[in-house]
Amino acid sequence: MQNRSGLKPPAWKTMAPKASDSRFELQKGRMLRAAARCFNEKGYSGSSLKDVADVLGLTDAALYYYVKNKEELVYLCYLRAGDVGREAMDQAIADGHTGLDTVRRYIRYHLEVMTGERGPIAIMSEIPSLLPEHRDEVLAISREHSARFEGILRQGIGDGSIAACDVRMTGNAIMGALNWVPKWFRGDAAVAASVVEEFPRILSAGLAR
């Protein structure tokens, strides 16, 4: 198999994962989705490892195979949220034609994950509860993501697809609305379809020139 440059990828990238690794990652993914659901609904202080275990149909002791404690579980949920946002933005940048088109694609791609089979995604509302080293890492991820989005807005202003605006405030407004969806979305397929269809239009309506 070759990549777009015509070069073969490194051997380790084409090796099939071990069955044990696949099972571990699958169960870890299930755990992080269950934890995101609990934290989004009850908050950090209102959730416990037992709550997450109950959602999964496991004993709370079984979760210690994957995490040391609740703080690490929140940290891993936030890293996953950061990965999802970055993937959505990378794809939007690759597919977008103008700044405005890229904004709309990013919103749509991110929502498709939030409301789809890979959801729920944890809301980053409990960052102060993290250990200092974890908090610094998550904040750095969040700031980088916001800066990239502001860059897309600047691109749109430059190419004429987006009206002149305060990119910091505009970015905060759009990101705030987008990131709050997991707080109230409860998995209804019809609602998910409406969110994916309508939110890109609604959240970008004031941007077009």
Question: 145-202, pLDDT tens digit by residue?
Answer: 999 999 999 999 999 999 999 999 999 999 999 999 999 998 899 999 999 999 999 9
Write down the residue that tokens 């404690």 correspond to: 69
| pTM for this prediction | 0.84
Domains, the chain, with CATH or none: 70-204 (1.10.357.10)
CB 88 within 8 A of CB 109: yes
**pLDDT tier at 18, thresholds 50, 70, 90:** low
Q: How many helices (H) and strands (E) does the chain have?
A: 9, 0
Write down the residue that tokens 């750095």 correspond to: 140
CB 130 within 8 A of CB 71: yes
